[in-house]
Chain A
Amino acid sequence: MQKMKLVVVGNGMAGMRTVEELLKIAPDIYDITVFGDEPYPNYNRIMLSPVLANEQTIDDIILNTREWYAEHNITLRTSARINKIDRKNRVVYAEDGASAEYDRLLLATGSKPFMLPIPGKDLEGVIGYRDIKDTNDMIDAAKVHKHAVVIGGGLLGLEAANGLKIQGMEVTVVHRNEWLLEKQLDKTAGKMLQKNLEAKGLNFLLQKNTELLMGDSNGRVKTARFTDGLEIAADLVVMAVGIRPNFALAESAGIYCNKGIVVNDTMQTYDPRIYAVGECVAHRGISYGLVAPLFEMAKVCATHLANFGIGLYKGSVTSTKLKVTGIDLFSAGDFACSEGADDGREEIVLHDAVGGVYKKLVIKNDKIIGSVLYGDTADGSWYFQMLRDSKPIHEIRDSLMFGQDSLGNTGHQGQDKAAAMTNEMEVCGCNGVCKGTIVKAIQDQGLFTIDDVKKQTKAGSSCGSCVGLVEQILASTLGGGYAPPSTSKAVCGCSDKNHEEVRAEIRTHKYLNIPAAMKGMGWRTPNGCATCRPALNYYLLSTWPHEAVDDPQSRFINERVHANIQKDGTYSVIPRMYGGVTTPDQLRKIADVADKYAVPMVKVTGGQRIDLLGVKKEDLVGMWKDLDMPSGYAYAKGIRTVKTCVGSEFCRFGTQNSTQMGIDIEKAFDHMWAPHKVKFAVSGCPRNCAESGIKDVGIIGVDSGWEIYVGGNGGIKTEAAQFLCKVKSHDEVLEYSGAFIQIYREEARYLDRTVHWIERVGLEYVKQRILEDSEGRKAAYERLLYALQGAVEPWGERVQNRENHKEFETITV
């Protein structure tokens, strides 16, 4: 079949990102030709400032090399500016006479710096700041000239000024407003920034309008004059007063434009064969000048170019960071000063003038709508995430300003501020990745998302405790290029559906097996992948107990063989000891089995039972038979242990029989599968020897009854369980904690611990479901008991069912 022809006008980040996204999902449907008017392949425009500041070289910031284009059979025409589109015959023409036919055309013509319409703007030495050429011009100018004037105290202007200063020039920044970065900062933060930049040697002239530029006899700029009559020396003038979408080409071809190329939510222009992405576009009346929205557009556009017909771009909320080394600022959303206005806006402000820290959060209707951070931006992405997700904040309002503390307590030397770390410090303790390695990967390989960084560097890809740090590093390296991931993301690459959509469809359409679910929900892969299959299997089983078909091949090996795989491929065997209570008989049996199978290590676990480690797979069934004890589910995304203290039976402080309560809970919820592992603990008094405070469900006996705590976690990130309620009786403990676990089982995402689920839905929601809706609570508890009815102990079943033993046997030839 003849391939369709796709022509891309614009070899910048938006255009090429779209091509990359397209190649990922439909590599073979187009012959692609790319025209770019610069002499370079696609490079990372947002890294021009580091180049100017001598922190990077041009080679470092190339995103797609010429070899990359060749490998993907893309025809690349550099230094070729398209100046005509013949829509009738579907041909584009370049200034140099070249032409190319298209079936579909993608316009990604970017933007141009806005040049103030003042006398002298065409003098030599007056430039914008947009591309490699401008950057080189500045570096060259700095070698022979002394006085630089940057007009515009916005992000780009300040980055240019900082770079020129490093290049050795005397730099004056001229700004029309009362403070710098008035779009990104309020006055207080703007003044703090100015002070810091002055300390770096920059000069500022605020509330000044440039009237004209005067040249010398050679036609090079020499002096700048302002409307108040002041004149200053200027051998180089950089205009950074804003950008304008570059839509002249589209307009000349008769495509509807209004301050940009007008596109719909699929990134299509008024000509259905022509799409447009990037800074040249006006989407819902807005043109974006930051890179994160461009990437969102690229993704959507690619799905339409690939004829999938899915994906809508609905606009972006943007955040900004300034890429000037040593200056930390972050802002997002609407943070304009609300003085005097009675519009429901509230502000929380922290200001430490001496320490150089300023933080402002703007809140409306219980949601963050804007934030400005200066000096300490570690929590920028966290606030931005809540802003984008419109998350209610009243539960955490008291501590909101102090940030998301303990981004990770273990594995990275207690650090939770990436900026304070040196390049040699280890960020990811699991995979041994240092900060410098991550920064280098982001810069050299052109990474823009957490997933990219995880994939390429492995940082944050194991236990995940350092993801917050990695995110900070990514945000500060990319500046405006960084967009935090949306919280509702697809289950995996096999589908675009997120966890909640998948759960809802399984319920609505009553899918009972994985093939039916994948077919019904339009899975792109024939049988999913190692990420989605275990999730689907769990969702089916938890939604339709006794009806859905369990698929062992979609379970992780541990659940498939009821034992934990170890690094050398051996397994561990942990029998249940309800409530951590055992008997001399059990201990003798365990000792005999350990002897018989020459178990290399016998260890007491943190969950109050005994682990037999280093067992060969082919010995598992025999050991289970000889042990004749129930499986401890130590391998399961499901109920693990109920840890108990001695309790009132023996302990002189005990107020309740915590041991028996633990045994009863463990028996009642035995065999329960869940989105992730579930651990209980029961303590007999507030001394809490069973460590109930860090369990998914922690129960503490007091003289008048039992307190129930939920959402604790003692792992990567220590989380104290939160108080749910106090109940009087033994049966109520079972009902309340059972209902809590059942709602978690039904509503959490696969691999969410209870703490993650509660973090997302809020403790208030949980309380409402368990405490306020007593019918609902009882019903949830009943559903849990129904799901567990007739559950089979897996070890015993394996021992009985000889046909299943094959899985454990090795074939010898």
Chain B
Amino acid sequence: MSNWVKVAPFADIPKLGARVVRTKNKENADIEIGVFRTEDDRIFAINNTCPHKGGPLSQGIVYGDKVACPLHSWKISLIDGKAEEPDVGETACFKTKVENGFVYLELKD
């Protein structure tokens, strides 16, 4: 079952930037999700953890539909969470939508 949660006003997510959303997973443990906004105002959400060494992706530089991890510059796709070649790895993605000026995030239950 889908589980859309309201996250923040669209304007609170900076262009070419991100915000961190903290929530619980089904085991009730804290997880962090990075919610990103591209230059053309698309919103993406991926797990805030780089597949390389766990760097907080939300803190990286956003360009195109990618983010460069702040720790060792792995390039992670916001679309599918995959690392750019030749690096190998991926991080989880979440669906997003914008309605009435608010960003929503689909959490798996």
- A residues with a Cβ closer than 8 A to B are 455-456, 462, 525-530, 533-534, 553-557, 561, 565, 567-569, 806-807, 810-813
Contacts and interface: CB of A to CB of B under 8 A. Distances in A.
Given A527-B63, A810-B21, A813-B5, A569 B55 contact: yes
Contacts of B23: 812-813
B71 to A, nearest CB: 7
Shortest 9 CB-CB contacts between residues of A and residues of B? A530-B68, A553-B16, A569-B56, A530-B61, A557-B59, A557-B70, A811-B21, A810-B20, A527-B39
B5 to A, nearest CB: 5
Nearest to B12: A806
Contact of A812 (B22, B54, B60, B61): B22
A557 B86 CA distance: 24
Contacts of A528: 63
Nearest to A571: B59
Given A553-B61, A556-B70, A806-B12, 15 more contacts: A462-B72, A525-B64, A526-B39, A527-B39, A529-B64, A530-B68, A554-B16, A555-B61, A557-B59, A557-B70, A561-B59, A569-B56, A810-B20, A810-B32, A813-B6
Contacts of B5: 813
30 contacts: A455-B86, A525-B63, A526-B40, A527-B39, A528-B63, A529-B68, A530-B60, A530-B61, A530-B68, A533-B61, A553-B15, A556-B61, A557-B61, A557-B70, A565-B56, A565-B70, A565-B71, A567-B71, A568-B54, A806-B12, A806-B19, A810-B20, A810-B32, A811-B21, A811-B22, A811-B35, A813-B6, A813-B21, A813-B22, A813-B105
Nearest to A494: B63
A684 to B, nearest CB: 40
Contacts of A534: 61
B62 interface: yes
Given A530-B68, A811-B21, A554 B61 contact: yes
A796 to B, nearest CB: 22
B98 interface: no
Interface string B26-61: 000000100100011000000000000111100111
A202 B7 CA distance: 77
Interface in B1-17: 5-8, 12, 14-17
B95 to A, nearest CB: 15
A750 to B, nearest CB: 14
B73 interface: yes
Contacts of B82: none
B74 to A, nearest CB: 10
Contacts of A568: 54
A363 to B, nearest CB: 41
A806 B20 CA distance: 10
Contacts of A554: 16, 61
A680 to B, nearest CB: 27
Nearest to B61: A530
Contacts of B15: 553
B70 A456 contact: no
A530 B62 CA distance: 7
Task: Give chain B's interface residue range (CB within 8 Å of chain A).
Answer: 35 or more
B82 to A, nearest CB: 16
B109 to A, nearest CB: 13
Interface of B: 5-8, 12, 14-17, 19-23, 32, 35, 39-40, 53-56, 59-64, 66, 68, 70-73, 75, 86, 105
B85 to A, nearest CB: 8
Given A456-B86, A530-B73, A813-B5, A553 B17 contact: yes
Contacts of A553: 14-17, 61-62
Nearest to A528: B63
Contacts of A530: 60-61, 63, 68, 73, 75
B59 A569 contact: yes
A554 B60 CA distance: 10
Contacts of A526: 39-40, 64
A811 B71 contact: no
B24 to A, nearest CB: 9
Contacts of A525: 63-64
Nearest to B70: A557
Contact of A527 (B8, B12, B54, B64): B64
Contacts of A557: 59-61, 70
A567 B15 CA distance: 25
Contacts of A811: 7-8, 19-22, 35
Nearest to A569: B56
Contacts of B12: 806
A561 B56 CA distance: 14
A534 B21 CA distance: 26
B58 to A, nearest CB: 9
Nearest to B55: A569
Nearest to B56: A569
Nearest to B37: A553
A553 B38 CA distance: 11
A719 to B, nearest CB: 25
A384 B15 CA distance: 46
A729 to B, nearest CB: 44
Nearest to A534: B61
A133 B35 CA distance: 58
A553 B64 CA distance: 13
B60 A807 contact: no
Contacts of B68: 529-530
B93 to A, nearest CB: 17
A807 B75 contact: no
A566 to B, nearest CB: 9
Contacts of B62: 553
Contacts of A455: 86
A528 B16 CA distance: 11
